[in-house]
Structure 1
Amino acid sequence: MAFDTTTQTTTQDPAPAGEPLGIPRLSTRDRLILFVLCAAQFMVALDFSVLNVALPELGTDLGMSRSALQWAVTAFALPSGGFLLLFGRVGDLYGRRKLFLTGLALFGAASLLATLAWDPVSFLTGRALQGLGAAAIVPTGMSLLTTTFPEGPARDRALGISGTLLSLGFTIGMVAGGVLTDALGWRSTMALLTVFALTVLPLAPGLLPESLPPRLKGMGGAPVPDRPRLDVPGAVTVTAGLLSLIYALSTAADHGFGRTDVIAALIAGLLLLILFTAVESRSASPLVSLPMLRRRTVAWGNLGGLVTFSMMSTVIFVLTLYLQETLRLSAFETGLVFGFQGALSAVAGTLAPRVIGRFGARRMLVGSLTGQGALIATLLPLNADSWSVWLAAAAVSLASMCHLGAIISYGLTVTSGVPDEEQGLATGLVTSTQQVGITVGIPLLGVLATTSRDLLSGVHTVLALDAAIVLTAAVLVGLGLRRGQYRV
C-alpha cells in the first residue's frame, strides 16, 4: 500500500560491525524502493545509447535514408527534454507516484510499438512516446528518491547508487546495442526496453509513496478546494522553448548551423525562454520559482551539471569516431573500450557518498570537475598508433569516475535545503540540465571533428576546448559556491 512521504521517515538498519559511521544501512523496504526507482532511471539511460549502433540496420529494414536516421534520436530527445520541467511540476501538484507510474506504462507501450514498427512513421511515433514517458519518469523518479530518503547520508548513498546506474546504463547500452544487433537484429534493442518496463511496472505501485504536499490536503488527506493551479502560460512557453532549442541543436549536429530551420528554431527557442522568464515573474503560481533560480546552490550547481554532461558526451562522441575511423576498431570493440568506463563508474558510485560525507558536496563537485578536465587533457597525445587505444581507455575511464562524482554532487548541491513540495521543481531543473547538456555538447564542439579535413586534428581541437571549458567551470563553480552562506 502506498503511503505519504510528507509524514514518512526512512528506516535504517543498524550499521554492521566494520561499516563506517555516517554511511547508513538501508532497510529492506528502502532497498526495494531504491531498486524500482534506479531500475527505471537505468532503463531511460539505456535508451539514450542502445539504439546508436543499430541505426544502419534499422534504416535498411524500415527504408529510412541516412539523413532521416537522426530522427530516431531526435524523436526521443525532443519530448524527453522538452517536457521535463512541466512534468516535474505536474508531479509536485498532482502526485509524483501517479505520474511516475503513468510514465512507466507509456514507456513500456511505446517500446513495444517501436519493437513491432512496420514503417518509419510507426517507429518514430514509438520513439516520441518513449521520450514522453521518460520525461514523466525522470523528474518524478528523482523527486520520489529525494523525498523518500532524508537529506544527509541516506540521500547521499541513494543518489550515489542512482548516479552509478545512470552512468552504467549509458555505457552498457553502447555494448549491449552492438551485441544484440549482431545476434538478434535492431528490434531486440527496443524489445529489451519493453522487458525492463514490464519488469519494473508491477513492483512500483505497492512500494512507492505518494507525495502530495501538505498544503494540498485537508483533514484525513482529502484534497482542499484551493489547490494551486498549474501555470499554463509558463508551461507552454518553457516547453515550446526547450523543444525549439533541442530540435535546433539535434539537427545542427548532423547538418550544421547554416540551415534556415536551425536558425529559426534557435531564435524562437531563445525568445520563448525570455518570454517564459517574464511570465514567471508575474505568475501567482509559477512553474519555476525565480527566487529558487537565484539560489547560489541551484545556479552554480546546475552550471556544473551542464558542463559535466555536455563535455563528457562530446568526449565519448569524438572518441567513438576516432576509435572506429582512425584506429579501425569495430563497433563491438569500441563498445568494449567504453566498458572499462562503466566498471570504474561503478567504483566511483560506491566511493562518492563517503567522499561527500567527509568533504561536502561543494568540494566534491569542484574536485570532480577539475579531475574530469585534467584527464581529458591527457588525451591530447592520441595518434594513429595502436597503443593509443590503451591511453583512450584509461583516460576516459578515469575521467568518467570524476564525471560520476560531479553528477552525484551537483544533484545534491541543487536539491539540498529545498522543501519537499518543491523537490519536483528542483529535480526537474537537475534532469533538464542533464538532457540539455547531453544534447548541446555534440553540436557545439563535436561538429569541429566531423567537419575537419583531418579527423585526428579535429579530435585534438575538440579535446583541448573541452578540457579548457571544464577546468574553467571548476574555477567558476568553486568561487560561486564559496560566496554562499550555507553548508553543502
Structure 2
Amino acid sequence: MTEILDSAPTTSETVAANTPTTGASPRLDNRAKLVLLVLCAANFLVGIDFSILNIALPAIGTNLHIGEANLQWVATAFALPSGGLLLLFGRTGDMIGRRRVFLAGVTLFTAASVLTMLAWDPASLLIGRALQGFGAAGVVPTGMALLTTSFAEGRARDRALGIAGSVMATGFTIGTLLGGVLTDMLNWRFTMVLPIALGIFVLIATPLLVSESRNEHHTRLDLPGAATVTGGLLAVIYALTTAAQDGWGRANVLGTLIAGVLLLAAFVAIEARSSHPLVSLKVLRRRTVALGNIGGLLAFATGSAIVFIGMLFLQQINGLSPLRAGLVFGWLGVVAAISGTVAPRVIGRYGSRSVLVAGLLAQGVGSVLIATMTRGDSVLILALAGVIWVYGNLHAIVAFNVTATSGLSNEEQGLATGLATTTQQVALTVGIPILSAIASTRQNSLLHAGRSAQDALIGGFHLAMWADAAILLVGTGLVAAGLLRRERA
C-alpha cells in the first residue's frame, strides 16, 4: 500500500463535507474535528482489538478448552489476514473507492466481533478472529488514505496523523486494562462489546461526514505483486507461529518459511519492474524513510510482543487475576497517553530523528529491566520499569511517523505514508509469533532436560523477553548509526 495514498488531495479525493485545512495552520474547524474523531475511532477500534483479548487468553483457554501451546493462535488468527492482506485491500480501495472498502471492512470487523463474542468452540473463535483480521486489513489502509485526503498537506495533516497514530498505540495498551476489568468482573466475551459499539458508531458516522475518494490515475491492480506479497507474508507469519508448537527443525516450518522468503523476494523483483506497483521502491532510497521504517518496525514488533508475554507472565506465573493484571497495564496506558501527547512537542524541539533514537533506546532499557523480573517482583518491575518502556515506545512511534515521511516531495509523501502504515501493521503481526516461538522452544528444551513445567514456563518467558530487549537495542544502534551518518552527509 504505497501509491494507495496520494499526497496532495485532488478534486476527486477531497472530502466534500469538510473544507480542507490549509497547511499554514494546524487549527481544525468543527467539521474537521468530527472527521478526525470518526477516523480515530476506527484506529482505536483496530488498536484495542490487538490487545483486549490478550489478557483474557487464560480464561478463554479454560472456557473453550484451548491448550496453552495453542493460545497464541487467538492473536495470530487475527494477525495473519490483517498483515498479509493490507497491501491488497489498500490498493483495492485506491481503485474502487476508499470509503467503500473502509465501510466494508468496518462492517465485516463488527460482524466478526459478534461471532467472536458468541464463540462456542475453538474453531468458531478462530474463524471470528480471522474475519476480524480481514476487516482490519480493509480498515487500516483506507482509513489512513481518507485521513490524508481530508486534510491538506502541512501542519494540519501532520497533527491529524500524529493524533491518529497515538490513538492506535494508546488503544493497544488501554485494551489490556479494559480486557482485564471485563474478564474479571463479567466474562471474557464482554471484551467484544466495545469493538462492536465502536464499529456501529463508525458505520453510522462515516457516510455523514466522509466523502468517497479514489486515485483516478490507478485503474489496474498489480496482481503478481499482490499475490507474491500476500502469500509471502502469510507463509512467513504461519511458519513463525507454527515453530512455537512444532520447533524450528520440522519440515513444514522450514519449508513454509523458505517459501515465504522466496515469495517476498519475488515481490521485490516484480515491484522494481511493474508500471503500477503496489509498493514503489524508489521512496526507500531515502535514508530517512528506510531508517524511519526500521525504527517503526522495532517499536511496534517488540512492543506488541512484550505486552503479550508480560500479560501471560503476570497471570500464569504470578497467578494474578485478569483484573489485577489489567490494572498494571492500565497504569501503563495512562503513561502511554501522556507520552503520546508530549511527543510532538519534544519532536518540535529536538527533531524527529533524535527523538526516534532516544525513544527506542528508552524502550530498550525498559525491556532489559522487564526481562529481569521474577515470580515475586514482576508487578513492581512492570509498574516502574514499564514507565520507561512505554514512554520511550510512544515517543518512538510518533517520531517514526514523522521521520519516515519527512523531507519528501508532494508526490513522494503519499508513498511514504502508505509504507509507514504497512510497516506498522506487519510489525504488529510478526512480533508475537517470533517471541512466542522463542519462548516455546526454550520451554520445550527445559522440559526435555527434566525441569518442572513451571520452571520451564518461566525460562521460556525470560529468554523471550531478553531476546526482545536484544533485538531492540541492536536495531536501535543500527538506526542511530544510519541517522548520524545522514546528519553528517
**TM bin (shorter chain):** 0.7 to 0.9
1:350-378 C-alpha deviation (Å, 9 max, x unpaired)? 11111222222222211211221123233
1:301-339 C-alpha deviation (Å, 9 max, x unpaired)? 111011112222232233334333444322321111111
Q: Is residue 266 of structure 1 aligned with residue 251 of structure 2?
A: no
5+ long unaligned stretches in structure 2: 1-10, 447-454
State how 1:409-448 maps to structure 2 within 5 Å. 409-416=399-406, 425-448=415-438
Question: Residues 486 and 202 of structure 1: is their aligned pair in 2 closer, same or farther, counting only changes over 3 Å?
Answer: farther
Q: CA deviation at 1:289?
A: 0.9
State how 1:217-228 maps to structure 2 within 5 Å. 227-228=218-219
State how 1:25-424 maps to structure 2 within 5 Å. 25-59=27-61, 61-62=63-64, 64=66, 68-213=70-215, 216=217, 227-379=218-370, 381-386=372-377, 388-416=378-406
Q: Percent of counterpart pairs with the same letter? A: 53
Q: CA deviation at 1:165?
A: 1.9
RMSD, aligned CA: 3.1
What's the secondary structure of 1:355's corresponding residue?
A: helix
- Residues matched between the structures, number: 466
Contact kept, 8 Å, 1:72 with 1:127, in 2: the verdict is: yes
Q: CA deviation at 1:97?
A: 2.0
Match of 2:473 in 1: 471
Question: Residues 108 and 319 of structure 1: is their aligned pair in 2 closer, same or farther, counting only changes over 3 Å?
Answer: closer
Question: Residues 102 and 424 of structure 1: is their aligned pair in 2 closer, same or farther, counting only changes over 3 Å?
Answer: farther
Contact kept, 8 Å, 2:80 with 2:429, in 1: the verdict is: no
5+ long unaligned stretches in structure 1: 14-21, 217-226
Q: CA deviation at 1:240?
A: 0.7
Aligned residue identity for 1:169: G
Q: CA deviation at 1:80?
A: 0.4
Contact kept, 8 Å, 1:246 with 1:436, in 2: the verdict is: no
Alignment partners' CA distance in 2, 1:109 and 1:424? 31
The farther-off stretch of 71-80 and 470-479 is 470-479
Question: Residues 464 and 120 of structure 1: is their aligned pair in 2 closer, same or farther, counting only changes over 3 Å?
Answer: closer
Contact kept, 8 Å, 2:90 with 2:142, in 1: the verdict is: yes
Question: Residues 59 and 357 of structure 1: is their aligned pair in 2 closer, same or farther, counting only changes over 3 Å?
Answer: same
Q: CA deviation at 1:471?
A: 2.8
Match of 2:14 in 1: 5
Question: Residues 51 and 461 of structure 1: is their aligned pair in 2 closer, same or farther, counting only changes over 3 Å?
Answer: closer
Q: CA deviation at 1:129?
A: 1.7
Aligned residue identity for 2:383: A
Aligned residue identity for 1:77: A
1:131-169 C-alpha deviation (Å, 9 max, x unpaired)? 111001111212222333344432333233223322222
Contact kept, 8 Å, 2:112 with 2:129, in 1: the verdict is: yes
Alignment partners' CA distance in 1, 2:35 and 2:268? 36
Aligned residue identity for 1:269: G
The farther-off stretch of 371-380 and 262-271 is 371-380
What's the secondary structure of 1:467's corresponding residue?
A: helix
Aligned residue identity for 2:380: W
What's the secondary structure of 1:357's corresponding residue?
A: helix
Alignment partners' CA distance in 1, 2:65 and 2:372? 41
Q: CA deviation at 1:125?
A: 2.8
Alignment partners' CA distance in 1, 2:400 and 2:167? 16
1:242-276 C-alpha deviation (Å, 9 max, x unpaired)? 11111112232344323332222211110111111
Q: CA deviation at 1:69?
A: 4.4
1:155-201 C-alpha deviation (Å, 9 max, x unpaired)? 33323322332222222222222322334333322333222101111
Q: CA deviation at 1:23?
A: 8.2
Aligned residue identity for 2:21: T
Contact kept, 8 Å, 2:288 with 2:404, in 1: the verdict is: yes
What's the secondary structure of 1:288's corresponding residue?
A: coil
